[in-house]
A and B are shown apart, each in its own frame.
Chain A
Amino acid sequence: MKARTMRWLLSAGVAGIALAGPAGVAQALESRSYVVSYFSQQLNSREGDCPGGVNPDDQAGQNAVILENLGYKPDEVKAMMAEWAKGGDGEQRIEAIINARAVIDGQQVNAYTHPEATKDPGLKQITSKVGYGFNLDGKDNEVAFVDPQTGEKGVDNQLSRAIGCNQNFRGSWDAPSAYGEWIWVQLKDSQPAWLITISGEDIDKDGPVTVRLTRALEYLKSNGDGSPRHFMTYRVDPDPRSHNEFKGEIKDGQITISEHKPLSILWNALSSPVLNLKNTHLRLRMLKGDTLDGLLGGYQPWTEIYFAFSHNGIVGDRPGLYWAMKKTADADPDPVTKQNMSISTAYRITAVPAFVVDAPQLRYQSAEVK
């Protein structure tokens, strides 16, 4: 194990691996790099955590509820849903009613682009006290979770509370939510990979380290069976918008960061163009086979999360999710309205070993011709 790791490090050195980072980098004796092999919201669904069951878990049931909320009587709803189920023009007619259920100045408008103009359907939220994440504000309160892995109290993960009672967001540590797995599969082959580099005196021992999270120019490379390929080489995108560096430490084989700065990394239109976190927290366990597994958390602007949901067409009452997040948001109060603009969240992150090198600066051609 040690011998192999040394080879990996040695070869990296030979190839002239420069440590990626926007600023000058302290001379580290050792560094190991990884490519992110899974990234999605971490949820923790448990029996009975949504009183009376989850929100309607299929499009038909969901539509029926929306129509009821719009004021249609039960037999009207039944007839409308029968029309919807037949497909064709009838389906389109009902969909149009549902889509335009937002109202601005008496005019019906698209509910997904104007969620604020819809009526809050009051989606159910998680009532469980157990959930993954980080205690971001250092306090405990009645909406905080206890993390089942670390035992930490006061864990802030309001996003999982807001969306967790919808079938697409039912998931656990071992079985990711359908949404999480779906979005990862969509993205992994078509968005530049994310890279993690850990640098320190001796990474096999406890001690201070530097953690870098950057974006690659290449996509994640997979094996024929779809599993992430180990020890591929990736170049760091020189674009500084995706360069993040944190001070941290290794303790008992777990990497954490002690510097809780904001994090920003280019993502993807399907999820959100940029992942923005404040008060960033990270914990990564170093597993057998040189892989990493853990959580990345912090406060994220919930409107960015909403607009991802709204345009990627997930099943469920999307404006309802807007209201759910708006109500549970727990950071960044707007100076005027006092509405919290960010929500606490935690993302599952796994990574496999990789070689990471600096890409040469891209040369941009002048737009001027002649």
Chain B
Amino acid sequence: MGMIAMQATKRSLFKALTTSCVIGLLAGCAPASDTAPAAKASAPTGTVSAAADFVPAVAAAPRLTPAQYRATVTDIFGPTIDLGGRFEPDMRIEGLLAIGSASVGVTPAGMEQYDTMADTIAAQVVLNPKNRAMMIPCKPAAENAPDDACAKMFLTNVGRLMFRRPMTNAEVTAYVSAANVAATKVGNFHEGLAMSLSAMLSSPQFLFRAPSTIKVKGQLELDAYSKASQLSFFLWNAGPDLQLLNAAQKGDLNTAKGLENQVTRMMASPRVEAGVRAFFADMFHFDDFESLRKDNLIYPMFSRQEARDAQEQTMRTLVDLLVTNRGDYRDIFVTKKTFLTPALGAIYRVPVVNDRPNGAVDPWQSYEFDASDPRGGILTHASFAALHSPANRSSATTRGKAIREVLLCQKVPAPPANVDFTLVNDTTIHKTARERLSAHVQNPVCAGCHKITDPMGLALENFDGAGAYRTEENGEKIDASGTLDGKTFSNPYELGQALKSSPAATSCLVDRLSAYALGRKPARGETPWIAKLKADFAARGYVVPDLMKTIATSPEFYRTAPIEAVQTASAQ
């Protein structure tokens, strides 16, 4: 490990562990005295009550996503820890991986990976002498024998961060005795400790965010630590930090004021960017870039590097507009401001100067498309054009479907079986996509859906399957006009403007963001709250961080239903 890497580790550990010493809450200063549930430390006073007609649903128990797992390990053990494994694929439900993550278990192959990663991480933390010196607050009485006091000090320390709550006494006993047995068997304290830490890393308490509930004034809500988790994963896409855990312990999260203080603090942190990125990557299906492939002969410019750059361009555009400048969400469809790399500049045919030396890792430059440029808004980004196209051509239908489903939260039915696609694919008779599709929809079975998707998709035909601009297809001029909900447009930029004024676009964002935050689709009984969020979003000028804050400070966000109710409901 190089010097710089070591320093980074040091800093991170310092953050995680020494801070705890300063405020005197964690082991290392005062070993594991806080194993009692927070509720006892400070009885909840109840947050501001929710709307009267609000009926909560059971809280989700999501499995950590790969990004969340990585962030947690980095937060606790430092950025130089190599995970040394890979994750089983996520599942998308109702348009979001976040919802899918609350529906997946762990497959045997996935468990092997968790187990391997746990061993690898634990070995780096405990067995690497440099890391050990910083991360383990004590030395064993003897290197070749168990030392329960030292094991307990370390395990309760990290356990609180990993389980996102203090460990129970029973847990402490179990993991300390595990370390003891293992150390005895191998004749080495640290190897035993590493094995116990590894078991913690592969435990369901770490891998799953199972909610704990508590009754306050007759209403069931998440307990303070579960609140902290829900809040932290929503805003930062990472587990709670020490300050948030401490706030939970003190009962602050159970008061409106205390909750707001924490939300304000967290929203002001640069870590919000990771949270916003995670949400939009999920909403925009950017995970599909992993498997996106383009025909090299047709799109020689679009390799995996450009695919990466294209995603990052859209992400930077969103973060800059929505977070840095607190702009209007609707402007994502029209903004001319973006960020480009020289490689993307070649696809967009605009100059992008990289002033850094050859091979520099950060080639990003801010860029603004000029008024005459047909580009503007995320629909005209290469990320959208390329992601929603097959390997070898553009597809007005796929793109139209994506606009409907991803950006407007509308459902487009799947095509019926036994459809003859010859006309759509034959470019000899019908040169442009518009001609081919209009020939195709002579079939009345198809016409219904294509009416929903094609007019918008055809407006993007000026962009080929890899996002390059074109005015002709097979020698014929491309007609990019169409209508959306009664608004007509004649080019991709005007389509963006039509989307900007579509109420479905902002409504969809609220639906997705709230579902993302909850890890499940809001239940019918929760619609009054969603309606309130939508009204609030509009009233406050469609500022996404404000919407996040509103969700995070809503009492409804933390309300839950008893699990028995679900069992009854599902039995019916």
Contact = CB atoms under 8 A, between A and B. Distances in A.
Interface of A: 3-4, 7-8, 10-12, 14-15, 17, 217-219, 221, 223-225, 227, 229-233, 235, 355, 357, 360
Contacts of A221: 342-343, 346
A235 B372 contact: no
B303 A224 contact: yes
18 contacts: A4-B471, A8-B349, A10-B372, A11-B351, A12-B351, A14-B350, A14-B370, A15-B353, A219-B358, A224-B303, A225-B296, A229-B301, A230-B346, A231-B345, A231-B347, A235-B353, A355-B350, A355-B351
Nearest to B350: A11
Contacts of B301: 223, 229-230
Given A11-B370, A224-B304, 15 more contacts: A4-B471, A7-B373, A11-B350, A12-B351, A221-B343, A225-B297, A227-B300, A229-B343, A230-B301, A232-B342, A232-B343, A232-B345, A233-B351, A235-B355, A355-B351
The range of chain B's interface size is 20 to 34
Interface in B346-362: 346-347, 349-355, 358
Given A15-B351, A233-B351, A218 B296 contact: no
Given A10-B372, A218-B358, A224 B296 contact: yes
Nearest to A15: B351
B449 to A, nearest CB: 34
SS class of chain A's interface: helix, strand, loop or mixed?
Answer: mixed
B300 A225 contact: yes
Interface in B292-306: 296-297, 300-301, 303-305
Contacts of B351: 11-12, 15, 17, 233, 355, 357
Nearest to B374: A7
Contacts of A227: 300
A355 B345 CA distance: 9
A112 B358 CA distance: 35
SS class of chain B's interface: helix, strand, loop or mixed?
Answer: loop
Interface string B317-353: 0000000000000000000000000110111011111
A125 to B, nearest CB: 41
Contacts of A17: 351
Interface of B: 296-297, 300-301, 303-305, 342-343, 345-347, 349-355, 358, 370, 372-373, 469, 471
A223 B304 CA distance: 11
Nearest to A227: B300
Which 4 pairs show the lowest CB-CB distances between chains A and B? Answer: A355-B351, A224-B303, A223-B300, A233-B351
Contacts of A231: 345-347, 349-350
A233 B345 contact: yes
A230 B347 CA distance: 8
Nearest to A357: B353
A265 B469 CA distance: 35
A169 to B, nearest CB: 30
Question: Which of A4, A233, A360 has the most C-beta atoms of chain B within 10 angstroms of its own C-beta?
Answer: A233
B317 to A, nearest CB: 18
Contact of A7 (B296, B303, B349, B355): B349
B471 A232 contact: no
Contacts of B303: 223-224
Contacts of A224: 296, 300, 303-305
B278 to A, nearest CB: 29
A365 to B, nearest CB: 16
Contacts of B354: 218, 233
B127 to A, nearest CB: 41
B375 to A, nearest CB: 10
B345 A3 contact: no
A10 to B, nearest CB: 7
A233 B342 contact: yes
A4 B345 CA distance: 15
Question: Which of B303, B305, B353 has the most C-beta atoms of chain A within 10 angstroms of its own C-beta?
Answer: B353
Contacts of A232: 342-343, 345-346
A232 B348 CA distance: 10
A233 B353 contact: yes
